[in-house]
Amino acid sequence: MLTLRNGYLHRRNKRIEFPDIYLPRGEVLGISGPSGVGKSSLASVLAGMITADVELLELPMRQVNQANPVQWLIQQSEFAFNPRLTLKASLNESWKGEAYLPLLSEYGLEASWLARRPNQLSGGQLQRFNLIRALVPTTEYLICDEVTAHLDMVTQAEFWQQLLVCAKRRNIGLLVISHDEYLLNAICQQVIKWPR
């Protein structure tokens, strides 16, 4: 269970009060909220990148020399990759060996694209490589932060269809942050509107 209870954070002069989060593995929790409310700050806390004042924070144990079991996907996948590295080199930074290869066809990506650099792919293709990079075997929770906001409806639908099947199969908990309430209501078991 990914749990955050009574958490808050001060950023500059602003106090951000987080909603309580209870996310079991294998479930999908949505969060919507206006710009600046603190959604990315919440993701940073849950990914263990910044600390906040909390009554309770339960995150999965992170093992030495292993990827963070809480992976965070951001909207602008072009910023998530080193522009000088090929996709293969970037994937090899998180995956041990090439066990990700079967995932490529599952997500409609061609193995020959591994030799390309990030600027030689479309936004949707790059976001799917970003997703595959995050789906290392140790991933227990995935935070999807507006990950399909810039994609057309068909590409969005394909992305979520594939990810939901994979998350169910691997018992991964998904925290989906989006302005798109239609999307959240379609894919989440529970949706938090922030602020309430």
Ligand X SMILES: Nc1ncnc2c1ncn2[C@@H]1O[C@H](COP(=O)(O)OP(=O)(O)OP(=O)(O)O)[C@@H](O)[C@H]1O
Report the 10 Å Cβ neighbour count for 87: 24
Identified binder of ligand X from the candidate list 32, 39, 91, 121, rule CB under 6 A: 39
Q: At closest approach, how far in Å is the CB of 114 from ligand X?
A: 31
- Confirm if 81 and 121 have CB atoms less than 8 A apart: no
Residue 33 backbone dihedrals phi, psi, to 5 degrees: 180, 155
Nearer to ligand X, 14 or 96 (CB): 14
Report the SS3 class of residue 11: strand
Is 37 one of the binding residues for ligand X (CB under 6 A)? yes
The residue from 1, 6, 8, 14 that contacts ligand X (CB under 6 A) is 14
With CB under 6 A as the contact rule, which of the stretches 38-46, 55-63, 132-140, 182-190 interacts with ligand X? 38-46
Residue 73 tokens read as 């996907």
Three-state DSSP at 143 gives strand
Question: Is 12 a residue that touches ligand X (CB under 6 A)?
Answer: yes
The radius of gyration of the chain's CA atoms, rounded to the nearest angstrom, is: 17
User: Pick from 6, 20, 24, 36: which binds ligand X (CB under 6 A)?
Assistant: 36
CB of residue 8 to ligand X, shortest distance in Å: 12
Q: Which stretch binds ligand X (CB under 6 A): 6-14, 96-104, 116-124, 129-137?
A: 6-14
Q: Which two tokens stand for residue 27?
A: 């479930």
Which three-class secondary structure state does DSSP give residue 192?
strand
Considering the rule CB under 6 A, would residue 30 count as an interface residue with ligand X? no
Q: Interface with ligand X includes 178 (CB under 6 A)? A: no
**19, 25, 40, 158: which one contacts ligand X (CB under 6 A)?**
40
174 and 29 in contact (C-beta within 8 Å)? Answer: yes
Q: Residue 2 CB, nearest distance to ligand X (Å)?
A: 18
SS3 of residue 19 by DSSP: coil
Nearer to ligand X (CB atom), residue 104 or residue 151:
151
Cβ-based neighbours of 18, under 8 Å, separated by 6 or more: 4, 7, 8, 9, 38, 41, 42, 45, 52
Contacts with ligand X by CB under 6 A: the residue count is: 12
- Which backbone phi and psi does 39 adopt, to 5 degrees? -65, -45
Binding site for ligand X (CB under 6 A): 11-12, 14, 16, 33, 35-41
